[in-house]
Amino acid sequence: MEPGDDAGIVAKLSTLDRFLPLWIIAAMAAGLLLGRAVNGLDDALAGLEVGGISLPIAIGLLVMMYPVLAKVRYDATSLRTVTGDRRLMASSLVINWVLGPAVMFALAWIFLPDLPEFRTGLIIVGLARCIAMVIIWNDLACGDREAAAVLVALNSVFQVLAFGLLGWLYLDLLPGWLNLGEGENLDISAAEIALNVLVFLGVPLIAGFATRRIGEQRLGRERYEARVLPRIGPWALYGLLFTIVLLFALQGDAITSAPWDVARIALPLLVYFAVMWFGSYALGRAAGLPYDRTATLAFTAAGNNFELAIAVAIGTFGVTSGQALAGVVGPLIEVPVLVALVYVSLALRRRHAVAKG
């Protein structure tokens, strides 16, 4: 699904595509209302989990990611051009695993010096780099699908290897070094993170790869992309909307009953998303990357793995903790902000196209 560049193409978009921001706002509102109106819904949804992974949210994310990953061209030539782009690969690694956590750490301490639970929750969000929903934002913004698949896979590897170490650095070691107070310890193993990566990236990636391979073998690339992709494409947004409803239903009562706390958490998140997206976009342009890879770099830098962040916060500090609330506020702010940034990105795309013309 690729939003068009002019009014004529926009007019040809489906109702679902054309009014996506409206559907997302409606899904957020529906989730909040369900969480408030249906007694015990949040506990019932939270109880449907295996190994700390929420089954309803897992289903939503898998449905959301599968169609997009089925669009990726997995041939060696396409993927080699991505992995061979040293500017893109190096920029992504530095932004995601050096700058991103450091920016969130700084903002959490600047905006929430008196609220240690919320501050810790935000830092955990900053450590969990995005491996799921960013696929959707990148596709909506007409980013490079192959580059997104490679960078998300790279993030997943580093997430398994570096999450625990970075948690110790930013929650335990640095606060003591900087005389900011006592540190925190995260109770999560590399195996638990690997399971999270396997479920939310591995399963839809394998399914998408298999669909592409089998479809191209039987139909050829052109017929596969013309006949199969349009049929499965809308399911990405159905999965997105379903996931949003569930996320907000899980914490609807907590969010609506503590609006001031939500506002305090939201402010550093807004600054974080703006700094990461616009900073990464500017870096991509300065490095000479084309629009599609610049957009991919920006969205993979700004997005976060909210499922992992929430799971870690709940597992370590409890479901009613301030850390868990901060994790839930993450997608509350991220979803509408990144939807808005999709349209900002498309506007920049048009501007670059005009400049080239």
Question: Are 128 and 159 in contact, with CB atoms under 8 Å apart?
Answer: yes
Place of tokens 């190096």: 90
Domain contains 27: yes
Question: Are 335 and 24 in contact, with CB atoms under 8 Å apart?
Answer: yes
With vertex at residue 337, the alpha carbon angle to CA 275 and CA 206, rounded to the nearest 5 degrees, is 95
Question: Are 310 and 327 in contact, with CB atoms under 8 Å apart?
Answer: yes
Identify the CA nearest to 96 among candidates 264, 296, 250.
296
CATH number at residue 40: 1.20.1530.20
Domain span at residue 327 reads 23-350
Domain contains 36: yes
Question: Are 54 and 46 in contact, with CB atoms under 8 Å apart?
Answer: yes
Token pair recorded at residue 294: 């610049």
Residue 2: predicted pLDDT: 44
Residue type, 5: D
Domain contains 12: no
Residue 294: predicted pLDDT: 95
Domain contains 177: yes
Instruction: State the SS3 of 197-214.
Output: HHHHHHHHHHHHHHHHHH
Question: Which stretches of 184-278 are assigned E, i.e. beta strand?
Answer: none
Token pair recorded at residue 147: 């580059």
Per-residue pLDDT of the chain (357 residues; tens, 9 = 90+): 444 444 444 444 455 666 677 887 888 888 888 877 777 776 676 677 766 566 787 788 788 878 877 887 777 666 677 777 888 999 999 999 999 999 999 999 999 988 888 999 899 999 888 877 788 888 889 899 888 888 888 888 888 788 888 888 898 888 888 877 666 666 666 677 677 677 777 788 888 889 988 998 999 888 988 888 888 888 878 887 887 788 777 766 666 777 788 889 999 999 999 999 999 999 999 999 999 999 999 999 998 877 777 777 766 776 667 887 888 788 778 888 888 899 899 999 988 776 665
Domain contains 356: no
Token pair recorded at residue 314: 């709940």
Neighbours of 17 (CB within 10 A): 18
Residue 1: predicted pLDDT: 43
Give the count of domains, the chain.
1
Domain contains 268: yes
Residue 6: predicted pLDDT: 42
Q: What are phi and psi of 85, to 5 degrees?
A: -85, 90
Question: Are 190 and 160 in contact, with CB atoms under 8 Å apart?
Answer: yes
Domain contains 225: yes
Residue 190: predicted pLDDT: 63
Give the chain's length.
Answer: 357
Question: Are 340 and 131 in contact, with CB atoms under 8 Å apart?
Answer: no
3-state helix, strand, coil split of the chain in percent (to 5) is 80, 0, 15
C-alpha span between 167 and 307 (Å, rounded):
16
Query: Looking at residue 144, what DSSP letter applies?
Result: -
Domain contains 13: no
Residue 46: predicted pLDDT: 64
Token pair recorded at residue 101: 């956590």
Angle between helices 86-94 and 76-83 (to 10 degrees): 60
Torsion of the alpha carbons at 172, 278, 67 and 57, rounded to the nearest 10: 40
Question: Which stretches of the chain are assigned E, i.e. beta strand?
Answer: 49-50, 53-54
C-alpha span between 325 and 348 (Å, rounded):
34
